[in-house]
Amino acid sequence: MKKLFEIAKENIKNAYVPYSKFRVSAVLELKNGEIYKGINVENASYGLSNCAERSALFAAYSNGVKKEDIKQIMVYTDKEHFVSPCGACRQVMRELIEEDAPVIFANSKGEFKKVLNKDLLPYGFTEKDL
């Protein structure tokens, strides 16, 4: 977890947040040890912004990664408290990451909180609902 934390902490410097100044970094670890990073990217048209979690996942999927390849994801902010993914990210994570994969929250104090992906969005909408 320490390795992911150091990567996330360094990666947060890349966040493009001229409006909110709220930086987020996500580090996706695959079962083979490969890493994909994401940061939040804001836009003056706020609805066109993208969160760090989705940035990391979309980069991974763009390179051929599949749900079963993903080991875990860490979400880091430079705040002293834990910040969990927004609703849109929870829905995307519910579909693109296995239900029992760990989602790790990390704060600026180097503390961690681990939850399972399925616990972030109970009754989430999945392909089973179609």
Q: Look up 80 and say whether it is catalytic.
A: no
CA angle 90, 88, 40 (to 5 degrees): 95
Single out the catalytic residue among 6, 10, 34, 53.
53
Order of strands, sheet of 35-39, starting from the edge strand that comes earlier in the sequence: 35-39, 24-30, 70-77, 102-106, 112-116
Distance CA 128, CA 53 (A): 23
Active-site amino acid positions:
53
